[in-house]
Structure 1
């Protein structure tokens, strides 16, 4: 009986199921291998010991964190909304703008929340396929053609894209923003810290542009679930209409602001991971049977012969990476998060052993 009460369009949804088995090396979720900087951990401990007033609701507007972010990005706090991860903001955006039957354009392959949030809001999700023959590249003209044909409320661009790792050039993104004036253009920059790119300065010029950022990747705070959007004040006020009250805990707000004050250590960690990404990419390319896609993120997408067998053998060794199974656009593909030098070296050694002893 319960199944009959579920909305028809979401009956086929599969709840997200993270691999929770014991592991030796975990490189499957694009997390940072680096913890909160030690100075920030000490201040967080002091904050908890003094009196975080956890018996009281948190600041529903996250004012101190938004002010810190505004200073970091050289924008006003009124340009920023904080969410429980950028996932929550994606759903909020859909709740605000998508009515029954409205369309949302999203890249494929990419982050599944773009499609799912649209469906949950009652809309129709329409994908535009990235060019697999050219490192899954974006094409502004293709997106604009889809915009003119489909007339979507929202257009998603993920740059660097997850799980393919490729960037959409800044001028190409702005070309879409300028041409698609009757749509909200959401640029998901969750991994942009690893390529030192952003279109954030353009929010002052284009009121239909919204950028998503997160503390979960480069800042090493996946555990606090904190993301944010940057947009014009007019667009920010609109998105804020559907933001739940008290959506960010006091501890998360404090920890996120702390890490911004330790930005030099974060930048050092980013440089380390970028250098490791390049080293691992070169080493992977030397292994027979592995195709390596260029990446501007903290992960690498690879195509491996007999990928199911390789994935199983890695799991048996306690090494987790992300497999995409028989997904049509990602057949035999796996995504490898960049970890520490030691973790990456173990993975490379095991892959060599597995691939040469099939």
Structure 2
């Protein structure tokens, strides 16, 4: 009976499986291997011990955090909205702009929330394909042609793209934003710190351009669920229409503030992971039966002979990576989050054992 009450377009949804099992090495969720900086943890502890005021609702507008972010990015704090992870902002964007019959253009393969949020809002998601034979590279021409054909309300660019690691050049992104004047162009920069590339300064010029950021990846705060958007005033005000009150806890706001203050340590962590990404990519190419894709993020996509068997054997050793069973574009692919050298070395040793002793 309950199933019959569910909207037909949502009945086929499969709840996200976070693979919450005991593990030895966890490289399946693009998390940072680095904990919250020690100084920040100490200050957070003092905050909790002294008087966190958790009996009161948090600042519904996250003003202190937004002002800190405005100083970091050199933008007006009034053009920043904070969300419970960038996931919440993706759903808010769909709720504000998408209705029955409206189309949303998004890359495939990419982050599943783009399509899911559209369906939940009653719209129709439309893929533009990142071709495997072209190493999943972005094509601005493909996006422009799809825009002309589909007339979407929203156009997504995941930059760098998850799970392929590709980066669309800034000039191409801005050309898309300038061409798609009757759509909101959403650039998801969840992993952009790992390539030092952003179009945030361009939101002042392009009124239809919005950038999504997160504390979950480069800042190592996946556990606090905090993301934010930056756009011009008109688009920011529109998105704020559907933002729930008190959507970010006091603890999450304060933790994010503290980590923003630790710029030197965060920059060192990012530099370490970028260097480790390049080393790990090079080592993976030496293993028989593994094809490595270039990445600008904190993960590496690989295509593997006997992929399911390799994945199964890694799991048996307590090493978790991400497999993509449901996507034909990612057939036989694994996504490997970049860890510290010790973790990466163990992974390589196991892969060598598996691939050379089949």
- Determine helix, strand or coil for the equivalent of 1:61: coil
Q: What's 2:5 paired with?
A: 5
Q: What's 1:79 paired with?
A: 79
Q: How does 1:170-181 map to 2 (within 5 A)?
A: 170-181=170-181
Q: What's 1:347 paired with?
A: 347
Q: What's 1:191 paired with?
A: 191
CA distance in 2, matches of 1:134, 1:124: 26
Q: What's 2:259 paired with?
A: 259
CA distance in 2, matches of 1:343, 1:17: 23
CA distance in 2, matches of 1:250, 1:331: 42
Q: What's 2:216 paired with?
A: 216
Q: What's 1:70 paired with?
A: 70
1:307, distance to aligned residue in structure 2 (A): 0.5
- Determine helix, strand or coil for the equivalent of 2:311: helix
TM superposition outliers: structure 1 runs of 4+ over 6 Å: none
Q: What's 2:247 paired with?
A: 247
1:326, distance to aligned residue in structure 2 (A): 4.9
- Determine helix, strand or coil for the equivalent of 1:64: helix
CA distance in 2, matches of 1:341, 1:91: 36
CA distance in 2, matches of 1:138, 1:343: 31
Q: What's 2:61 paired with?
A: 61
CA distance in 2, matches of 1:45, 1:356: 49
- Determine helix, strand or coil for the equivalent of 1:245: coil
Deviates more, 1:266-275 or 1:126-135: 126-135
Q: Could you list the runs of 5+ residues in structure 1 that have no partner in the other structure?
A: none
Contact 1:103 1:151 in 2 (8 A): yes
Deviations 1:63-93 (A, max 9, x none): 0000000000000111100000000000000
Q: What's 1:39 paired with?
A: 39
CA distance in 2, matches of 1:21, 1:120: 29
- Determine helix, strand or coil for the equivalent of 1:217: coil
CA distance in 2, matches of 1:134, 1:99: 34
Q: What's 2:235 paired with?
A: 235
1:316, distance to aligned residue in structure 2 (A): 0.4
- Determine helix, strand or coil for the equivalent of 1:171: helix
Q: What's 2:22 paired with?
A: 22
The answer to whether the aligner puts 1:331 opposite 2:324 as a matched pair is: no
Q: What's 1:138 paired with?
A: 138
Q: What's 1:158 paired with?
A: 158
- Determine helix, strand or coil for the equivalent of 1:128: strand
Deviations 1:161-208 (A, max 9, x none): 000001001110001000000000000000000000000010010000
CA distance in 2, matches of 1:140, 1:113: 22
CA distance in 2, matches of 1:78, 1:131: 39
- Determine helix, strand or coil for the equivalent of 1:255: helix
Contact 1:153 1:184 in 2 (8 A): yes
- Determine helix, strand or coil for the equivalent of 1:260: helix
Deviations 1:14-58 (A, max 9, x none): 010111111000000000000010111111011111100000000
Q: CA RMSD in A?
A: 0.5
CA distance in 1, matches of 2:276, 2:4: 50
TM-score, reference length from structure 2: 0.99
CA distance in 2, matches of 1:118, 1:315: 33
1:325, distance to aligned residue in structure 2 (A): 1.8
- Determine helix, strand or coil for the equivalent of 1:21: coil
1:134, distance to aligned residue in structure 2 (A): 2.2
- Determine helix, strand or coil for the equivalent of 2:17: coil
CA distance in 2, matches of 1:257, 1:274: 24
CA distance in 2, matches of 1:240, 1:271: 34
Number of aligned residue pairs: 358
1:10, distance to aligned residue in structure 2 (A): 0.5
Contact 1:293 1:301 in 2 (8 A): yes
Deviations 1:130-164 (A, max 9, x none): 12222201111110111111100000000100000
The answer to whether the aligner puts 1:295 opposite 2:295 as a matched pair is: yes
